[in-house]
Amino acid sequence: MGDHFEKGQQALLNEGEENEMEIFGYRTQSCRKTLCLAGSIFSFGILPLVFYWRPAWHVWANCIPCSLQEADVVLLRTTDEFQTYSWKKVVWICLSALNSAFRLIPDHPLITDEEYIINRAIRKPDLKVRCIKVQKIRYVWNNLEGQFQKIGSLEDWLSSAKIHVKFGSGLTTEEQEIRRLICGPNTIDVEITPIWKLLIKEVLNPFYIFQLFSVCLWFSEDYKEYAFAIVIMSIISIALTVYDLREQSVKLHHLVESHNSITVSVCEKKAGVQELESRFLVPGDLLILTGNKVQMPCDAILIDGSCVVDEGMLTGESIPVTKTPLPKMDSSVPWKTQSEADYKRHVLFCGTEVIQARGACSGAVKAVVLQTGFNTAKGDLVRSILYPKPMNFKLYRDAIRFLLCLVGTATIGMIYTLCVYVLSGEPPEEVVKKALDVITIAVPPALPAALTTGIIYAQRRLKKRGIFCISPQRINVCGQLNLVCFDKTGTLTRDGLDLWGVVPCDRSGFQEVHSFASGKALPWSPLYAAMASCHSLILLDGTIHGDPLDLKMFEATTWEMVVSGHDFHIKGAPACAMVVKPCKTASQVPVEGIAILHQFPFSSALQRMTVIVQEMGGDWLAFMKGAPERVASFCQPETVPTSFVSELQIYTTQGFRVIGLAYKKLEMDHHTTALMRDQVESDLIFLGLLILENRLKEETKPALEELISARIRTVMITGDNLQTAITVARKSGMVSESQKVILIEANETTESSSASISWQLVEEKKHIAYRNQDNYINIREEVSDNSREGSYHFALSGKSFQVISQHFSSLLPKILINGTIFARMSPGQKSSLVEEFQKLDYFVGMCGDGANDCGALKMAHVGISLSEQEASVASPFTSKTPNIECVPHLIKEGRAALVTSFCMFKYMALYSMIQYVGVLLLYWETNSLSNYQFLFQDLAITTLIGVTNIFVLVLVIQLSVCLFILFADIPELYRRLDLLCTPVLWRVYIVIMLGSNFIVSLAVEEAIIENRALWMIIKRCFGYQSKSQYRIWQRALANDPSWPPINQTSYSDMPACGRGVSYSNPVFESNEEQL
The Cα–Cα gap between 70 and 25 comes to: 8
The amino acid that residue 992 corresponds to is I
CA distances from 201 to 208, 248, 272 (A): 11, 16, 49
Residues 6 or more apart whose CB falls under 8 angstroms from that of 397 comprise: none
Which residue, among 34, 85, 84, 33, has the nearest Cα to 63 in the 3D structure? 33
The Cα–Cα gap between 687 and 533 comes to: 14
Whether 182 contacts 374, CB under 8 Å: no
What residues form DSSP beta bridges with 877? 469, 864
The Cα–Cα gap between 1027 and 1033 comes to: 10
Question: Is 1032 strand, coil or helix?
Answer: helix
Residues 6 or more apart whose CB falls under 8 angstroms from that of 1 comprise: 56, 60
The Cα–Cα gap between 391 and 862 comes to: 11
Task: Sort strands 128-134 and 137-142 into parallel, antiparallel or unpaired.
Answer: antiparallel
Computed over its alpha carbons, how large is the radius of gyration of the chain?
Answer: 35
Query: Exposed e or buried b for every residue in 657-677, given b needs 16+ CB within 10 A?
Result: bbbbbbbbebeeeeebbebee
The Cα–Cα gap between 933 and 607 comes to: 73
Nearest 10 degrees: CA dihedral of 376, 377, 381, 386?
Answer: 10
Which residue, among 796, 811, 803, has the nearest Cα to 749 in the 3D structure? 803
CA-based torsion, 58, 60, 61, 64: positive or negative: positive
The amino acid that residue 68 corresponds to is L
Question: Is 874 strand, coil or helix?
Answer: helix
Question: Is 1031 strand, coil or helix?
Answer: helix
Could you report how far apart the first and last alpha carbons of the chain are, in Å? 44
The amino acid that residue 101 corresponds to is A
Catalytic (active site) residue 342: no
The angle that helices 46-53 and 55-62 make with each other, rounded to 10 degrees, is 120
CA-based torsion, 337, 342, 346, 347: positive or negative: positive
Selecting among 310, 342, 487, 938, the annotated active-site residue is: 487
For 54, phi then psi, to 5°, come to -125, 85
What amino acid positions are annotated as catalytic residues?
487
